[in-house]
Amino acid sequence: MRVTDSYVCIDLETTGLDPKRDKIIEIGAVKVEDGKITAQWESFVNPGRSLEERIVELTGICDEQLADAPQIGQVLPAFHDFTKDQVILGHSVLFDFSFLKKAAVDGRMKFERCGIDTLKIARKYLQELESRSLGSLCTYYGIPHSAHRALADAMATVALYDKLTDHFYEKEAKEGDKSLFLPKPLLYQAKRDTPLTIPQKEQLYKLTDKHKLILDYQIESLTRSEASRKIDQLLAEYGR
C-alpha cells in the first residue's frame, strides 16, 4: 500500500453546524502533489444572512467582509475547477463535505469525492490526548496554526497529515484496504432546497414594508422552507 500524497485539503467556516440550515461563509483549499504544496485557493461566501456574534468572535469574520462576497452558487464552479476529482483531505472531513454536497445539490451540481480524515487517524492512535481537535493536535506536534480561518486550517491539516503519516503510516498499512490512510467514498444524503416562491417573496416584502422591519437576512437568498418559517415568525410577532 502506498501513502496518498496527492490530494486537496479543504476547510470551511460556516454559520453553524447543520448543513441543512446553516451556510458556508469561507472556503480554503490547498493542493498537494507528490507530497508538496503546489497551489492554494480561498474565497469568502455571502451566506445571505447576518452572522451571529459567536461566529464573529470565533472566526474574526464579520458581515462587512461578506457583504460583497459571491454567493455559494458562484463560488462552487471555481472550487470545482481547483479541486477537480481529486481526493480530499480534512480534519473531520465529512463535516466539510456535507456542506459542500448540500450546496452542490441545491445548485443542481454533482459533488462526489473520496476522502481521508485526519481526525479518525488521531482518534485511533492518539487516544491518550484529552482533545484531538485540530488546534490541540497542532499544539501537540508544534505546528504553527491560526485557528478558525479556512485556508489557515487547511494548511495546518496538511502539516498534521504529514506528522500522522510519519508516526503511524507503517502501523496502519497492516490494515490493508481498511487503512485510514486510504481514501474512502464520502457519503452524505442531501435533499435539494427549492428557492422561495414569488408569492412568498411578495408577502415577505409586504410584511417588512408594512411593519418597517430591518431584517438580518436577504429575502432573495431564502429557500422555500426558510421563507415559510420566516413568514410564520413575522406573522406570529407582528400580525398581518
The C-alpha atoms of residue 7 and residue 87 are separated, in whole angstroms, by 5
The grid coordinates of residue 44 equal 469568502
Exposed (0-12), middle (13-18) or buried (19+): which is 13, by Cβ within 10 Å? buried
CB 91 within 8 A of CB 117: yes
User: What sign results for the dihedral spanned by CA atoms 64, 99, 136, 140?
Assistant: negative
211 in active site: no
CB 48 within 8 A of CB 74: no
What residues does 185 pair with on adjacent strands? 114
Q: Count the neighbouring beta carbons within 10 Å of the beta carbon of residue 211.
A: 12
- Which of 80, 91, 145, 148 is catalytic? The answer is 148
Beta strands per DSSP E along the chain:
7-14, 24-33, 36-44, 88-90, 114-117, 184-185
The C-alpha atoms of residue 235 and residue 193 are separated, in whole angstroms, by 23
Which residues are designated catalytic?
Answer: 148
